[in-house]
Chain A
Amino acid sequence: MENNQNIIEVNELQTSFFVGGKEVKAVDGVTFSVPSGKTLGLVGESGSGKSITSLSIMRLIAEPGKVKGGEIKFNGENLLDKSEGKMRRIRGNQISMIFQEPMTSLNPVFTVGDQIAEAVMIHQGLSKKEALKKALEMLELVGIPSPKARLKNYPHELSGGMRQRVMIAIALACRPELLIADEPTTALDVTIQAQILRLMRNLQDELGMSVILITHDLGVVAETCDYVAVMYSGKIVEYADVNSLFANPKHPYTVGLLKSLPRHDIDQEGELSTIKGMVPTPDDMPKGCRFAPRCPFARDMCRESLPHLEEEENGNQVRCWIHTDKWDGPEVNVKHDYESAASQQS
């Protein structure tokens, strides 16, 4: 069945942190949507605002941060207009989140069973006993061996991979419509990563939910996602279905990311191998395109003014002067010319 309704639509989302009298625009006009039942990959270097985007959707931005503007339409209703009480009934129930750090994301003083049961008790009003039965089912579902015994374990008695499975069990206990997974596997070793991703994919099929998968790893995106949003410095620079993105990337940053793919798991902090320079800091945010200082194709117009996110006929979007009529430079094929242009970059 063709279903092109979007479960969530984020429009011009703006989230800032106010530190030392200054405003840090962590998320600066982010727009994307996730079609029902599909998986959106949200990719970008460290600090580009992926986690802050997802926490904004959950309305879990804490002081000194603040969602300043935009809208987040979930099933057609703007989450930013909801009262805290209404929002709480959505969290962990209709929208769930899994975090990057399985080692620290579970409360050390409660048993695994209690922590899964809590979500069910809150949202489905089950008794403790029924909730624990449900917790047991969830542990089975996420493939934890001898689940009955594990129910009574404390988090420190489990490995990182097991804890992430528990996190997934908590997130899925109430059968959410949307799961946001913020780098669910970065902290785990490679074999476990594959297991967890496979588990998530199977559960998605089983429960028919939509997923936003945040990751550094384009390899993971290729395997799991239907759509991809590439973030750079608080903005979406490219949004495309996964096939188009890999076959025909439009934004120079996306191309740079793709070129650096083989090294993804070694070097996350430092410079990406084929993108020169560093992510801009809030203090010297470029006036024009945020990527201009690192872009091998950048011209004066790129440094002067910020391009819009332009939609193409197929619904894909890109934020780059090259793909507009205003482009005043020579004809470029971003994908083909990237390498040679990059090698001439000083």
Chain B
Amino acid sequence: MLVYIIRRLLQTIPVLLGVTILVFSMMHLIPGDPAQIIAGESASETQVEQMRERLGLNEPLVVQYGKFLGGVIQGDLGNSIRSGNPVSAEIGARIMVTIELAVYSTILSIFLGLIAGIVSATKRYTFWDTSIMIVALFGLSMPNFWLGLMLIQYFALPPLQWFPVSGWGTPGHIVLPVITLGTAGAAIIARMTRSSMLEVINQDYIRTARAKGVKEKYVIYKHALRNALIPVVTVVGLQFGVLLGGTVLTETVFAINGMGRLVIDAINARDFPIVQGSVLVIALLFVLVNLIVDLSYRFLNKRIELD
């Protein structure tokens, strides 16, 4: 097991190396002179030259990449062009917010999705099943920003005012953004759980469990669910990855200073070091999430041999 984890971690190195190359190229792939773009339309020739010097753009590409990589390995992602602060500090201030958002939303998705999916599957073709699946379809098709705005409209503005309209910090701040982000995931997990459960419930080993005299409750929650979860885990992992990189709209709607807003602001300001650093960090997280998903697979499905 440990060997497997270490090997998987080593395997991520080429992936991350590839990401650094991509990220590094961003600055050089954009049309025109990055120094000119960053310095702005109206900058004078000397200002642009200074900018070029500051960004190290006069050196050969390989040397530039080498320096960038060397920095990354030491945890130095450079400095923000706009604020001059280290990129790692800027990201550090924001990343926890995004991770919290993603974790809470994923927990909500799993909780709601599993319950809805199991109820749907065990009460197939009844009123409950149909209602749950219709709600799930709504949940899936609602755009996040719209759902966010609706939640603000009804629960944050008068007359109810149950939750703050925007910001971050108190438990109350968490509720609406997490519902906004978790709904689509819950819908996906509910549908996945339902179809997976329905498939598992018809398996011969479920009949065996019943023939042994196992209580229906345990037939469902022990014998069936454990098998039905295997495909659901993949969906949860993907969902979490998407949340890490894709909470921009929701962060904007609720004015939360997370990674999404950091990246958007940085792109608008052509603050390339921030963009590079953020993409790299998100990629790293994504890779780790994938590893965790694979490990839970191993735990759930004994037929998969990792080595």
By a beta-carbon cutoff of 8 Å, the part of chain A in contact with chain B is: 58, 60, 84, 88-93, 96-97, 99, 101, 104-110, 118-119, 122-123, 154, 156, 167, 170
Contacts and interface: CB of A to CB of B under 8 A. Distances in A.
B215 A88 contact: yes
Interface in B178-225: 203-205, 207-216, 223
Given A99-B204, A101-B204, A104-B203, A109 B211 contact: no
Given A93-B213, A118-B214, A104 B302 contact: no
B8 interface: no
A281 B293 CA distance: 48
B18 to A, nearest CB: 35
Interface in B221-252: 223, 226-227
B201 to A, nearest CB: 9
B212 A119 contact: yes
Contact of B211 (A58, A101, A110): A58
Contacts of B301: 108-109
A107 B302 contact: no
Contacts of A93: 213
Which residue, B208, B215, B226, has most C-beta atoms of chain A within 10 A?
Answer: B208
A167 B212 CA distance: 10
A123 B227 CA distance: 24
B7 interface: no
Nearest to A111: B302
B208 A106 contact: yes
A91 B213 contact: yes
A104 B205 contact: yes
Contacts of A119: 212-213
A120 B37 CA distance: 75
Nearest to B300: A109
B272 to A, nearest CB: 48
Given A154-B302, A154-B303, A106 B205 contact: yes
Q: Which 5 A-B pairs have the closest CB atoms?
A: A92-B213, A92-B212, A91-B213, A104-B204, A107-B205
Nearest to B301: A109
A122 B211 CA distance: 12
A107 B211 CA distance: 13
8 contacts: A97-B211, A105-B204, A105-B205, A105-B208, A109-B226, A109-B301, A154-B303, A156-B303
A97 B214 CA distance: 13
- B-side binding surface: helix, strand, loop or mixed? helix
Contacts of A58: 211
Contacts of B216: 84
A123 B213 contact: yes
Contacts of A109: 226-227, 300-302
Nearest to B227: A109
A90 B211 CA distance: 9
Given A107-B208, A154-B303, 14 more contacts: A60-B210, A92-B212, A96-B211, A104-B203, A107-B223, A107-B227, A109-B226, A118-B214, A119-B212, A122-B212, A122-B214, A123-B213, A156-B302, A170-B212
Given A108-B301, A109-B227, A91 B205 contact: no
Contacts of B207: 60, 99, 105
Given A107-B223, A108-B227, A91 B300 contact: no
Contacts of A105: 204-205, 207-208
Contacts of A97: 211
Contacts of A92: 211-214
A68 B207 CA distance: 21
A63 to B, nearest CB: 8
Contacts of B214: 88, 92, 118, 122
A328 to B, nearest CB: 47
Contacts of B302: 108-109, 154, 156
A108 B302 CA distance: 7
B213 A90 contact: yes
B212 A118 contact: yes
Contacts of A104: 203-205
Contacts of B226: 109-110
A58 B207 CA distance: 11
Contacts of A122: 212-214
A99 B210 CA distance: 12
Nearest to A104: B204
Nearest to A55: B207
Given A99-B204, A99-B207, A109-B226, A91 B303 contact: no
Contacts of A123: 213
Nearest to A107: B205
A150 to B, nearest CB: 14
Nearest to A109: B226
Nearest to B224: A107
